[in-house]
Chains A and B, each alone.
Chain A
Amino acid sequence: MSQFIIGIDLGTTNSAVAYAQEAGVTLFPIPQLANPGEVAEFDLLPSSLYLPGEKEFVEGSLALPWNAQPSYIVGRFARLRGVENAGRLVNSAKSWLSNQAADPTQPLLPLNAPEGVAKVSALEAARQYLLHIRSAWDQAHPDAKLAQQTVLITVPASFDAAARDLTQRAAKLAGYPEVTIIEEPQAAFYAWLERNPNWRELVKPGDLILVVDIGGGTTDFTLISVTDKSGELQLERIAVGDHLLLGGDNMDLAVARFAEQQFADKGTKLDALQFHSLWQQCRTAKETLLADGAPASHPITILGRGSGLVGGTIKGKIARDEVRQLILEGFFPPVPADAAPQRNRRAALAEVGLNYAADAAVTKHLAQFLRNAGNAKPTHLLLNGGVLQASAIEHRLFEVLNSWQPTPVIELKNESKQSDLMHAVAHGAAYYGIARSGKGVRIRGGVPRTYYVGIESSLPAVPGLPAPMKALTVVPFGLEEGSKVELPQRKFALVIGEPAEFRFFSSISRRNDAAGVLLDEISDSLEELAPIEVFLPPHTDGTREEIVPVTLETYVTETGMLELWCVAADGRRWKLEFNVREKAAHS
């Protein structure tokens, strides 16, 4: 049995690790390169990967306690050096894992690397972060290596089955044991449960808890309902939002771009390093100016480049009202309950890149999320993420939410210290590990989407038009961990020795399609994912069988992974695999 339960928050911009023992949940500080030749421990591991050139650093200065000559730099120094040389820096690898437009297993990153840099895939980047964490853990716990522990990794609730699968693959490639996947907003809620042992007095049956998790790069919504089952309070996750590439980094950047323009108006042009310094200061300025009792402005100082430090210093300031205007009106505008975010208008020839949210208004996305969840009226609100410690943002969210419903929402406090909001997810993941072993309350949830496979209609083909597709429900919404769905009524013929491919769809808004239900058309509410494929190897024993009739079975494993299987009448079975390569080609 494992000694520790390890929760890993593999974030878009920062990662954190917490572990649980009998005594409770503790944060694991992660040793990393702080500067060449200097390894130090920090609570956060920036999710940055730097691909060093051959002679870029003094020999031996990248050494880590567990690796004298690492091929990559992970963490703090990677981010630092990446500012000076962006062509070798991989950032936001996590967002690429769920990207529909590019293959996460192909070496594409950094996107703008100069010729001659050996690029890496998003999967490899994720593996490197996980490998760094594993090595650091093993170094600190030589008698309790990570591979022998129970490990949980958090993903955005909005990650689809393929992105979750890739996360598990990255972990496996990094030498992890079978990991359990847990959704970030749920982990944040578990952290709240852990800190409020009296939670049963704080919520009651019929309550609906909205979790808003704004990370560095993503925003995630989740609804958890409180029900009563024979006198025991139960928690059930009933809805999750769409994948939104919009987070605190966007907000800092908005303030920095604004400040940069102010400098430009005065005739000062900033270079990349100065802009980075500005960006950092704007983050601090934003936090200061959005707090209660904020001063009217925050000074900004950009030191001169070169050795003329004082002479080249540029001074400026950012006014409180400007930041409030930018952040509150830009990202959290008051909108009516029926507001809808602007849709992505994609150019026919879109550049390969991340599918950033087209509309920066978090409140519009929230309105749409609540509408899709059946016009939900949450009774409680739990906020998570570094951004949300700014009290002005917090107030605004409450204001907007309360304008949509007759009864005001009650805040669930996950302690307001910044460090807590940054680490709550890793914390909660470790707590969930305890809950899974039966020592705490567990949120029931299951699969947060409905999944379908495409079936070609047997209608006569019309020249010039593809055969109409129907969609067969293979995974109903909310299918729980450890359960199975069989679909005996529909048979497929698989040809031995040839790969068979199924088109695969999901829907976040259709919640009532039971397993086996056939939809007559692929409507807008269905999103096409990577196709899934299966290959039946040719026989080696000389049997002549060519076509095998199979039925489909779906499972949700105990670790939260979705699996689809083809099952023959005689019990032989083949697993369907996600084909991420095809996903890129299709879109």
Chain B
Amino acid sequence: MSRISAAFSSFFSILFSGVLPETVATEFGYTKARPVAAPPPEPPKVKLTDGALQILQTLQRDARLIDFLMEDIAAYSDDQVGAAVRSVHADSKASLARHVMLAPVIDGVEGTNQKLDGSKAPDPNRIKLIGNVPASGKAPGGTLRHRGWQATSINLPPIGKQDVTILAPAEIEIES
């Protein structure tokens, strides 16, 4: 299976149906915290958007990313924002690493020359040509400005009966 089709079939299959395609799963040997499929009590009805909500839910739970993004931070000093960001950043990164394996599309050094196959226009999914792009859309190479990102695998647990539209429950503390 080509890297491209593996990447895409994984990304969208999980995002939209909550499972990693078996072909991809066998191709990529996972090393870290491999989720073990829990036996679903009954086949849950998964909507197309559920995977996206699940990612948001996870990032809020692990790193409070929604709290951070939704807060009006204009009034706070850079110092105050900075302290919070370090924590949110570290937790988001750890959470993301646990669930999505990310890799650059082109593993090169930004700012250096990057060769391309000049005989055909590059796959627009993977490569975006910028600057003085020839009319044919074909180029033998250029300067790598951004390495791009691709998800090489996604480990999201299957969605059970939870309401994925609730990204974080309200918390009520019972005080004695």
A→B interface (CB under 8 Å): 31, 34-42, 58-61, 63-65, 68, 139, 271, 299, 301, 303-304, 307-311, 313, 315
Contacts and interface: CB of A to CB of B under 8 A. Distances in A.
B138 interface: no
B160 A58 contact: yes
Contacts of A39: 35-36, 38, 157
A310 to B, nearest CB: 4
B86 A61 contact: no
Contacts of A139: 36
Nearest to A85: B174
Nearest to B81: A310
A309 B64 contact: yes
Contacts of A34: 33
B20 to A, nearest CB: 14
A61 B35 contact: no
Contacts of B68: 309-310
A41 B71 contact: no
Contacts of A38: 35, 157
B125 interface: no
A42 B35 CA distance: 10
Given A58-B161, A301-B84, A303-B84, 7 more contacts: A37-B157, A37-B158, A59-B160, A61-B161, A65-B37, A309-B88, A311-B76
Contact of A60 (B88, B161, B173): B161
A58 B57 CA distance: 15
Classify chain B: how many residues form its interface, as a range. 35 or more
Given A60-B40, A307-B71, A301 B160 contact: no
Interface string B45-68: 000000000000000010010011
Contacts of B35: 38-40
A32 to B, nearest CB: 9
A313 B39 contact: no
18 contacts: A37-B158, A37-B160, A39-B38, A40-B33, A40-B35, A58-B161, A58-B163, A59-B41, A61-B160, A63-B41, A65-B38, A139-B36, A299-B83, A307-B71, A308-B67, A311-B76, A311-B80, A313-B87
B73 to A, nearest CB: 5
B147 interface: no
- Mostly helix, strand, loop or mixed at chain B's interface? loop
B123 to A, nearest CB: 34
B71 A313 contact: no
Given A38-B157, A39-B157, A311 B71 contact: yes
B98 A301 contact: no
A358 to B, nearest CB: 30
9 closest A-B pairs by CB: A38-B157, A309-B67, A40-B33, A313-B84, A63-B38, A310-B84, A60-B160, A58-B162, A31-B36
Interface in B122-166: 155, 157-163
Contacts of A60: 40-41, 160-161
Given A41-B33, A61-B160, A61-B161, A313 B80 contact: yes
Contacts of A63: 38-41, 160
Main secondary structure of the interface of A (DSSP, over half): loop
Contacts of A64: 38
Contacts of A36: 162
Nearest to A31: B36
Contacts of B39: 63, 65, 68
A41 to B, nearest CB: 6
Interface of B: 33-41, 61, 64, 67-68, 70-71, 73, 75-76, 79-81, 83-84, 86-88, 98, 155, 157-163, 173
A313 B41 contact: no
B83 A315 contact: yes
Contact of A310 (B73, B98, B163): B73
A118 to B, nearest CB: 19
A467 B76 CA distance: 76
A261 B86 CA distance: 23
B59 to A, nearest CB: 12
A64 B38 CA distance: 6
A68 B34 CA distance: 19
Contacts of B163: 58
A88 to B, nearest CB: 13
A480 to B, nearest CB: 43
B71 to A, nearest CB: 5
B8 to A, nearest CB: 24
Given A38-B35, A68-B39, A308 B161 contact: no
Contacts of A59: 41, 160-161
B84 A309 contact: yes
Contacts of B83: 299, 301, 313, 315
A556 B158 CA distance: 50
Contacts of A303: 64, 84, 87-88
A303 B60 CA distance: 13
A315 B81 CA distance: 11
Contact of B162 (A61, A68, A310, A311): A61
Nearest to B34: A41
Contacts of B80: 310-311, 313, 315
A75 to B, nearest CB: 13
Contacts of B61: 35
Contact of B33 (A42, A58, A68, A309): A42
Nearest to A308: B71
B32 to A, nearest CB: 8
Contact of B36 (A40, A68, A271, A304): A40
Contact of B87 (A37, A301, A308): A301
A304 B39 CA distance: 37
Contacts of B162: 36-37, 58, 61
B159 A37 contact: yes
A303 B76 CA distance: 14
Contacts of B81: 310
A360 to B, nearest CB: 30
